[in-house]
Amino acid sequence: MTQRAVLPRVLVSAPATGQGKTTVATGLMAALRAQGTTVSGHKVGPDYIDPGYHGLATGRPGRNLDPHLVGEERVVPLLLHGAAGADLAVVEGVMGLFDGRLGTDGFASTAHVARLTRTPVVVVVDVERASRTVGALVAGLAGYEADLDVAGVILNRARRGRNLLEIERATRVPVLGALPARPDLETPSRHLGLVPAAERPRSVEMVRRLAEVVAGHVDLDAVRELAGTAPALEAGPWDPVVELGGEPSPTGASPVVAVAGGRAFTFRYAETDELLAAAGCEVVAFDPLTATGLPAGTSALYLGGGFPEVYAAALSANRALARDVRTAVGSGLPVVAECAGLLYLARTLDGLPMAGAIPAAAAMTDRLTLRYPVASATVDSLVTRAGDQVTGHEFHRTATDPVHGARAAWTIDGKPTGFASESLHASYLHVHWAGHPALARRFADAARAYARGHAHSSPRVAG
């Protein structure tokens, strides 16, 4: 039976990267929350970093909406799932409004998600070096696709005076606000983009000040009114139990799945934990920078993405955890490692000893790998079956030598990559398990089997 969901919502986009989308979207979320609105934050695309700032702004997990990673049919259900209990959803776009997967006419673009979710779009434009032409730019965006509702504009780096008045006269779409240039509120970047919120000691204070600036220069009542024009959605929220086959979680003790967190491992989709919990697992986070062992009773290990290259010295110095992880992998502990996790399992990273659980060395390179591929499983492994296809993304400036093991995790663009076995799956590819729930089910089943087989062994205890 089709459900009808009413969710006020707006989508914040821009003509291109660097216009101030994250600043405005995060500031809007925080400003609305400060006025008593329960806000849900969402990000178009695979990015993990912006949702971290959204989480600080809203007090709720940041969520991703990506048709490539999860399929078009799951975008609206995931939006409704993430926005459960919220008064209003703010969605931040990716790149320029119409920029999507190359060669696909905008598939997985912000515009694509706006159409799927029937969400009115607010365009952020950096006007520091522009005047009347801003009107033409916005008119072009608004008229490029007939079924897209570009309903508002927020001007960024705007200077009060005649120039601002000229821009406002030239812009036929309602101007909802004009933010001044504030270099002190710009989010710092490094080799892979913005610095994650969890790594910035003053992130909470920065988000608070963003809220103040947005509240002082954007008409929040107009934003709420615009969000209220979004039509009802004919869909129900995403349900991890249903995605896993609708079967009840197995009875008995829940196997412990240890998940890496802390400053070095900040990349993990919220739905990953929710799928594992729905499959009957107990998800326990630990910080590889400080923990001297895996959490007590660990029956599986998930090492997601992040920036181990930034914290390589500290990770290397924690030999107690490295030894525990190496021993656990050797004993057949089920382990999934994506990107940062792959680097941590390697013998070395930039010459520094890591866990040594995979026969490879990793190092920074000058080459940025950025792709949005379809990957094929080469063999039966911990979470895949030979021939399985998944959609994923890669974004890194490191490489391993060798690139793959005797059993590769995936074939991407005709080339084998990664390391796989019956108990291990490690590669650079990030996969959103909401789009491929069979991976979560197999991982949970392996954790349960490991727990049964090691029920009488001594538990690991984290320090």
Residues known to be catalytic: 339
Counting Cα atoms < 13 Å in the Cβ hemisphere of 159 gives 7
Dmax over CA atoms of the chain, in Å, equals 77
The count of C-alpha atoms lying within 13 angstroms of the C-alpha of 76, restricted to the half-sphere facing its C-beta, is 20
Q: Which residues contact 383 (CB under 8 A, 6 or more apart)?
A: 336, 425, 438, 439, 442, 443, 446
Nearest to 304 by CA among 288, 320, 282, 322: 288
Contact 123, 15 (CB under 8 A): yes
**What one-letter code names the amino acid at 370?**
L
Two structure tokens written together for 366: 């000058």
Tokens 């400003």 correspond to: 31
The rounded radius of gyration (Å) of the Cα atoms in the chain is 23
Q: Which residues are 349's β-sheet partners? A: 352, 362
